[in-house]
Structures are given as C-alpha cells and as structure tokens.
Structure 1
C-alpha cells in the first residue's frame, strides 16, 4: 500500500497542475480560475472521501480499478477542456457564458477530484487494516504529493507540453497497480493496465501532433504552439498577418499600428534617446520603430525565451532584421530582476501585458516604478500603455487607472496621460510636453516614416476634450496606490472580468464598501471568536475535532494562497 499512497500524492498534484494550466488557457489567462478550480478540487476530493466511507469495506482490488479510471479520465478531461468552446458553441476569441465557464471547470475537475478522494480513502483503509496508522498513511501520501510537486515544477521548467505531462501522469496511474499489487493483481485488471500502459506509451511519441490537432480546434490557422512556464504561446497566420496568442488571448499581430503608436508617442517626448531599455513587446515591432531614432544601443529584455524561439521564424522580415540589428542586445530575464543590476538609460519602454493578472501587475506597481526611476539618466523617460475604452471609463476602469497613476505620481513629479483606446502613459523627473508643439516639431525634424502618427494626429490627442477629462478623472479619484504588497488592480481586474458577463458589476466599489461598512472589522471579529470556539470545544470532544480539522484546512489553504502570490510576485510565474 505504500506504493499506492505515494502514487496517489504524486498523480493528485500532477493532475491538478495539468488541469489548472489547461483551464487557464481555456479562460484566456484569467488567473481567478486558479482559486475557483482549487476550491472545486478540494470539494470533490472531500465528496470522494465521504462517499468512500459510506461504501462497503474496500477490497484489495478497488484501488487498482480507481487508478486505471483516473489515468483514462485525466486524458479525456484535457481533451474536454480544449474542446469546450466548440461543445458550447463559443465565438472564437470571446468568453463562454459565465455559467458555461463554471460548468466547464466543474465538469473537468469533478471526476478526477472525486477519484482522488476515493483513492485515498480506500487505500488508507487497507493501509490501516494492515496494522499501520492513519497518520502514517497521510504522511506517505504527503511525501508523494511533494514528489508530484517537484516533478510538476521540473516539467514546467523544461517547457514540457501540457498534453505530454498528462500522458505521463496517466502512465504513472496505469503502472501503479502493476508495481503496487504485484502478483496479487487480478488477471483482468493486469491485462487492462498493461494494454492501457502500452497505448499511452505509444501516444507519448505522438504528443506533439496530438497537441497541434487539439490546438487547431480553436486556432484553425495554426502555425505553431508550445507551452512555457508563463503560459501557452500560439502562432497563427491568415494571409500576411501573423497573430500571436498567450493563453489563447491575443498578444499582438503584425499588420497593425500598435507598435508604432506606442513607440513614437513615447519617444517623441525625449529630445534624443541614445540608450534605450525595452521590457517586453519587442516581437511586435517596437524595436524596429525605436531604431528609426538612431539610438546608440537598445537592450531588449524578454521574460519568456519560448516566445522568441517560437515566434521569430514566423515574423515579417522587417521585424526579424530589427531584432538582429547590431545595436540591439536581447536579454532573457525577468525584467524586475534585470533592473536590480542594470545600467542607466535615457528611455525605458514597458511593453508588458495589461495588469489583469498577478504576473503582469508586477510591472505597474509603486515598487516597479521606483526600480525604473533608479535606472533613468538625467532627463530620462519611462513609458508604458494601458488599454481602456476611448470615450467612457467605467468605475472599475477609473479605479484601476487611478491606482496606477497615483503609484506613478508617488515616484515621478511629471506624469502624462495621452488618452485613446490605448492610453500612452509617460513619467519623468523632467518636465513633459503639455502641448503638441514639441512632439510635432521633433517628428518633422526626424522625417520619420509612419502609417498612423502624424502632426495632425498628435495635435488631436492633445486638443480633444478627453485630454483634460482624463486628467481630471485621475486626480479626482484618490484611490489606493497599486503596490506589490497591496495589488489594488486585482480587485478591479475581478470586477472588469465579471462586468463582461454582468454589466451591473461595474457599479461595485470594493474599497468604498470596505470603508463604509463593518466588513473591515471582519478579520478582527474572526480572531476574537476563534479563541472562544476553542474554549467551548474543550467540553465537546466531537466539536473540537471538527474545529481543529477546519482550522487546519483553512490555515493550509490560506498559507498556500499567500505562498503562491509571493512566489508569483518574486518570480513572475506560478
């Protein structure tokens, strides 16, 4: 039974990681799915344990049956998640209905969560019947969980395809009855496990084609796709347009003017940037636009090497040439860790994704802005972009942008917002342009070739009514600073995501609710009630056991959440 318990811990953790990564892609990289999916997993595991207690006494063959079922269902779950948008008639590039998403998460986690609970209850029962203790069973299963966690981390670090990891997990599940039961395993179960083991071992050699086939269910124009520690990168092509997706959300495409829009509206605010640092976004053409200013040197920091490796060969010739320019140095590192030991720059361009996740929020906090400020030369400039609605900002959008704005203002005395569907945000210790004349003069002097940016367009950005309106909105909203310790953008990301399904969610304001109601005292009340419960439970042994188990479970999940968030804050990846 020791082999069984070790394997239960291993496949439970590995299977959990596999399904969470698949659901993250299915939900377009919305990290909130992690908390929801973990809750579902724990619930169905508990249901499995309770159901196992109500069943007849476990036979020595019941764990073997459950291991075989687990291996088959895990692989089918991955296929179900990848095909869920087709099954529910989803529109390409759009979210499924909110309740359909919850249904997908529940249906995909239910069987394996239930089986993992049943497996532990049945195996632990046989383990105790052999003269061991339940505590020892928990210890062995936890050791297997540790192995599973280390193995999952290794697979992620090695950029292993998630489908390949699912096949490995299934193979471990099929092999466990053969190794753990030995000759005592029934003939039928032995043959079944051997046949499935051989089938899935064969599928491992075709994991890459299987991954491409299942990816084409959502991306029919697929060129290439690969999993990385930061998510799934997918490249598609339609005519001359190359589109790159991260966790199935569009990251960039090569026929638009986003790179030109961002780069020029920032760089025209600096008289002559000689040394430039670009943090992310170089694949979409920012470097090529920056080279038009004839800088002496450009450092481009890319957090995800898989992105460069996968996308480079499919990019247009002009973007490939800019990345291979002698003035450009590509550095693979986490941007925040790179800044701790970097030199100083005239200009820092932040091309990281929107602050809609913990991974991206790290590049819009007060601490990050302080890092950038320390690496700017005299008169240096920091620039980044924020996607918003062009004409109407909802409450959550105002709150999100204001929290970033005030974090920026706490570091830099001069901050400029150029409004549009993409807001261009710049900050410096030197004065920034407040009229279009400086920027239009530099554009005329440099005689840059552009498709969108022109004298008239720059004047339009400074003189339309949005320019003053946005400044007033940001200054009026005295919101909390977005920081590493208190990532205010998290709550707004939640509301913005919910508002896609429930528009009235934009009326919620968590910060004001907390300030104006007794909810802010909830943690204090909890800490006051907890000792009373423990005191009362001393006279009620049954209640005491339940409270201790509940407290241990709550503390474990709280600690796990804190560690996950800290790890993501530190290293930029879960």
Structure 2
C-alpha cells in the first residue's frame, strides 16, 4: 500500500510539473500578446511567479505544522484546484486587460507588475504549495523520505511539460485546448488519489465533472479575444510567432500582431513615402527588398518597374493574412521569403538596389535589433554600389523633444560609420535615406524625370517638406549620442526611460524596498541556503540573458521561449541526480560548482557574445543546459548539508525561488536596459564569486 501511495503521489508531482510549465508558457505568451510583445513583461511575470511560488512553499510548511497535517484529501483539493485555475487565469487576463486598460495603449511598469501578480497569484501560490506538501505526505509513512527525490520528480515533470509545449502544443493546439490537455492529467491523478484515500465517489465524481466541463468550456471561447483594434474583429489566429488579429471599420481593415498595429488597408501616404523616397534616388532598379510593408506599397513600388521584389516575412500565417485581406496585392515579380529578415540577410549573397524597411519603432528588443549598428552594417553589405536603404521613425509637428532627438541621433550615429550619405526627411514620419551615393531631397523632381506619378507627394511634398525644415532636422543631430549597439542597446535605455516618464513613475522606490527586504532575508539565511539563493539568482539571470540575447539576434522569442525554458529545466535533472549520489557531501563540492558556473559565464562573455549573430541557436541552448546542470548539482548538496528535514526542505526551496525571483527582476529591469548584456554577465559572475567566498569561509569554519 505504501509503495502504491508513493507511486501515485509521485505521478501527481510529475503531472503538476507538466501543468505548471505549460500554464507558465501559455501565460507568458498571453502577456506578450496583450502587452505589445514587451520583453520586460516576461521578466515581471517570472518575478511574480517565482516570488509567489516561494510564498507557497513557506505556506505549505506552516499549514502542515500549525493548521492541519498533510493528508491525501488535502492533496486531492490541491490537484483539482490546479487543474481548473489555468483556464480561469487565462480568461481573466483576456477580460481584465481590455476592461482595466485602454486597448492598444502601453501600460505602466507598476500596472503590469500588479496586474500580473493578481491574475496569477492563486495558481502560482498553489504550485509552490504542492511540491513540499507532497513530500510531507510521503514522510507520514517514511520520515526519512529524501527531499531530493521530490525535486528530481518535479523537474522531470517540468521537462516533460516544456517538451510537450515546444514540440506539440504550440504548433498544433490553441491555448485553451492545450491547457485542457495538460491539466486533464491532474484530474486523473486526483481521481487516483481519491481511490487510495477512500473518498466517496459521490464527492469526487461530481467535482471532477464540473472541472472537466470548465476545461471544455475554455475551448469553446478560444477565438474570443478582446483586442487592441477599433471596429469589428473579423479574424484572429494563433501562429507560433504571435497572435494575429484583423479588425474592420467601415470599409477599411487593420492588422495587429501581439496588440501592435502592423498594416492598414488604406494608408496611401505611407505607401507613397516609404516607396518613392528611396526609389526616386535610383535611375535603374533590378532588385528591391521589402522588410515588412504598408498597405498598397507593392502598387507603388511597381511604378519603378523593378525586375524583382523580395518580401521577407517571418510568419507564413501573417503573409497569408496580409494577402487575404488586401494589405498586400500579389504581383508577378513578387517573391515572399519566409524568414527572419536579419537571418536572411546574413545567409544570402544577393545584392539589392534598394532595401525598404517598414517596421514599428524599437519599443522592444525584438524590433530594436533592426536599428543597431550591426544590422546597418549587414544591410550595407547586401546593397549594390549605389544602393539605397530606407526606413522611417515617428515624426514631430513643430518641436523636436529631447527624448526624440536623442533617439534620432543614436540611429543617425549608428548609420554614419556605414553610409557616406544619410538624409533625414521630416513629416508625420521621419524618413532615413542612406546610401554611398549622394542623396537628394528633391523627390518630386526626381519622380518627374522617371515619369512616376503620385497623388500625395506631387501635391503636398514641396509645401510640407521645406528646405528649412529638412535642414533644421538634419542639423539637430547630436554627434555625442551613443550608437545603438547589439550588446549595448542605447535605444532601449531611452525607450525604458521614456516609458517611466510617460507615467510619471520610477522603479527606484520599488527596487530600493525590494533590496532592503532582500538584505533582511539574506541575514537570516545559513551559508548553504545562501548558495542556493545565489544559484537561483544566477540561473534565472542567465536564463534572462539568453532570452534577451536570443531576442536581440534571432527575434522570435514568442516561438522559442518554451524551448529556452525547457532546456534550462532539463539540465537541472541530471545535475540533481548526480549531486544526490555524492557520498561525501562536503561544502568543497559547492565551491567546485560555484567555480564552474563562473567559468561558464566567462566563456559566454568571451566566446559566445562576440560571435552572437553568427552562431546557431543550438549554441545558446547548449550553454543554458550546461549552466543548469551545475546549478542542479548544488541543490541536493545544500539540502543535505542543511539537514534534510521538513524545515530544511521548505527553506531550500524558498531560497532557490527567492533568489531566482530577485535575479530575474534586477537582471531584466535594471542591468540589461541600462548597461547591456556583457556588463550584466559580469555582475552575475561577481555575485557568484561572493557566494564562492561565503562557502570558502563556511568550509573553513
């Protein structure tokens, strides 16, 4: 009977791991969709998830010790609650996002922090509660039951959940269907626990039926997604790269991706400006590359009679939607290339006479990677000798604000080393025209010589873009503004600062209070649990580094977030298994593993980052796997050194989660936006060296 109970409880732990990771990943994707793909949202979500999870582990120890002993009936209640909460959580996020905040408008730091905390708190608290509670149940029959075995079992479930998400659910299932599949396992486990606990069928069968009904009901509202656009939602789809929505207002359509406007079916001004400004500079045009587009741009480009037009679009579903709703009109010379634009330019040998980029402002790291000096150098290498590169930025009316001037100056200074001539044209949008050949601002005259007719440019260009306005804009550039680099994204620092200024708030007070509480918490830790705190900090810091670096160089984190998190989880499993087999669990092993973590991070800084965009994805994943192996190795060692009792288990789990939570927030909200990738990695190495010194002193004592 004891063996059977153990098997069923461990199976429930695995099912909880599967559910927690699948729920976590779909919630992250939901937040990315609802908050315009802002990567900071990932960090705030993970911070809340981990901090609430740590609270859950403490709660489990307190409940089992002071309120009610751990029992199988309590585990049934936990499993059934965990099964139903993810569906309710996702529905709540979708409903409250548009009810509490203006659709399509960015949301402030504290609003996102509080919103994510409240919407995920019930589920995350129960996930943190379930793991030690399951261990306490097993220790009722066997008081010396090893805590490391629960840790390994949970990690196995996490890895299974990550693999299920990355290789099956994300490609073949919509979110609510995926949640029903993953959490249906918890219902089955709850029924098995009910059977061995002797709970009456009259109690658990009706409850299970209600929960299954809720899971099924979630799949019926799959396409119901309150969105950011105005008008009637006529199309919505979940692709591996994001959520696409099409809205109709009167006879016009608008396409949104992750809540950000991408296309409008009626935008003749942008279509003319984005195409004719650069193409008017060229007498003869063979090949044109479009990186994204605007409605009607292909019609305007065809007026210049290019031999070929390549249109790069990462998401095939997005291209299909653009053509289906008339955002793009197919032409004979058009070739659609399904690839990331930066990756495509890295691998192609083709030369283009014009590269026209129509991307939003770099408010996320995903978009910022197309506004860096490294990307501009790459574009230059794929242009013909007199080729033109063009893109736009938000414009201004009469006064150029300092934040805006700094952003434009940073972009200009990033372009200047690669192009001999850079001209800025003001208007509703500021257009950058870049070439090694002279660039003229007399656009109407150039178009007249080519016999290219337009509606807006012919009628309004000369009146709106006077020589004085053009000269004033180009002279406003500050040559001292830092370049926007891949590993030091200055534009993101400006965007981050502007984000807080917009809402008249700062994270300083929150971070200061958090650091004070952290110091109080650290003062109460034993040396071995401090190592776990530092390891949790550095592990999540590394995970955030890889997520941000991946977003910087590859750009499709919406698809790969599950794989990255799965790889970091997968390394913990063999590490914990091997660490649990060490017979002489001396602090010496903690020093060895701390040194190994420092070595891996130095390797990351010296060998991986300098060649970042030339390395395959597998290198980043292999690095994350190696770091997590070493971190997983430390947990059973520290747990054993701490005594291994129920109190030690709760404190060890909590220290690991607390360190991970603080590391996530500090790394993503302060270090990377303000200092860049490499300095952040150096700080993480320094923190692990402090941990190493602490263990050295502890071992000496």
* 1:94-493 superposed matches below 5 A: 94-95=105-106, 99-129=110-140, 130=142, 131-155=144-168, 157-158=170-171, 160-178=173-191, 183-184=196-197, 186-187=199-200, 190-192=204-206, 194-196=208-210, 198-200=212-214, 202-203=216-217, 207=219, 210-215=221-226, 221-256=232-267, 257-281=269-293, 284-315=295-326, 319-320=328-329, 323=330, 325-342=331-348, 343-433=350-440, 435-436=441-442, 439-454=443-458, 456-458=460-462, 460-465=464-469, 467-474=470-477, 476-493=478-495
Q: Do residues 71 (structure 1) and 83 (structure 2) align?
A: yes
Counterpart among 524, 528, 547 of residue 545 in structure 1: 528
Give the secondary structure class of the aligned counterpart of 2:190: helix
Return the offset for 1:300: 0.8
1:458 & 1:150 partners in 2: Cα distance? 58
Q: Do residues 566 (structure 1) and 577 (structure 2) align?
A: no
User: Which deviates further from its counterpart, 25-34 or 221-230?
Assistant: 25-34
Relative contact order: is structure 1 or structure 2 higher (C-alpha 8 Å, sep ≥ 6)? 2
- CA 1:100/1:364 → structure 2, altered by over 3 Å: closer, same or farther? closer
1:443 & 1:455 partners in 2: Cα distance? 13
1:288 & 1:203 partners in 2: Cα distance? 45
The equivalent residue for 2:674 is none
- CA 1:216/1:32 → structure 2, altered by over 3 Å: closer, same or farther? closer
What stretches of structure 2 of length at least 5 have no aligned partner?
Answer: 1-8, 509-518, 558-701
Return the offset for 1:219: 6.0
1:272 & 1:128 partners in 2: Cα distance? 80
The equivalent residue for 1:525 is none
Give the secondary structure class of the aligned counterpart of 2:288: strand
Return the offset for 1:180: 6.2
* 1:489-528 superposed matches below 5 A: 489-502=491-504
Counterpart among 28, 37, 45 of residue 29 in structure 1: 37
2:253 & 2:107 partners in 1: Cα distance? 25
Verify the 8 A CA contact 1:79 1:214 in the aligned structure 2. Answer: no
Give the secondary structure class of the aligned counterpart of 2:526: helix
Q: Do residues 20 (structure 1) and 23 (structure 2) align?
A: no
2:193 & 2:340 partners in 1: Cα distance? 43
Return the offset for 1:179: 5.2
1:62 & 1:219 partners in 2: Cα distance? 47
TM-score in terms of structure 2 length: 0.70
Post-superposition CA distance 1:448-481 (Å, at most 9, x none): 343321265156425143x22322332x252222
What stretches of structure 1 of length at least 5 have no aligned partner?
Answer: 511-532
Q: Which has the higher helix share?
A: 2
Return the offset for 1:234: 0.3
1:185 & 1:483 partners in 2: Cα distance? 63
- CA 1:455/1:128 → structure 2, altered by over 3 Å: closer, same or farther? same
Return the offset for 1:242: 0.4
Give the secondary structure class of the aligned counterpart of 1:251: strand
1:72 & 1:86 partners in 2: Cα distance? 23
